[in-house]
Amino acid sequence: MRMEIAIHQYQTDEISVGKAANLAGVSFEQMKDILRSRGVVLRLGLETIKEAQEEIANLRRHLNG
């Protein structure tokens, strides 16, 4: 269920790949693969400093598990 929510939120531009991965409980690379396998076009690259800071925080949380 968490995976479906993460995919939906990513598709509707609510969250980034990193946040989706964190929500779904998978790695960043796994999330990218899952999204691609579902036919979702990836939006890579951050648009603001705040997005970059949030992405770093999400990746740190995921790595520190």
- Per-residue confidence at 55, pLDDT binned at 50, 70, 90? confident
Max mean pLDDT among 7-11, 40-44, 52-56 falls in: 7-11
pLDDT tens digits, 19-52: 999 999 999 999 999 999 999 999 877 668 888 8
- Residue 34: which residues within 8 A CB-CB, separation 6 or more? 3, 7, 24, 26
pLDDT value of residue 22: 94
pTM: 0.67
Across 37-47, b (16+ Cβ under 10 Å) vs e yields eeeeeeeeeee
What is the mean pLDDT of the segment spanning 1-24?
A: 94
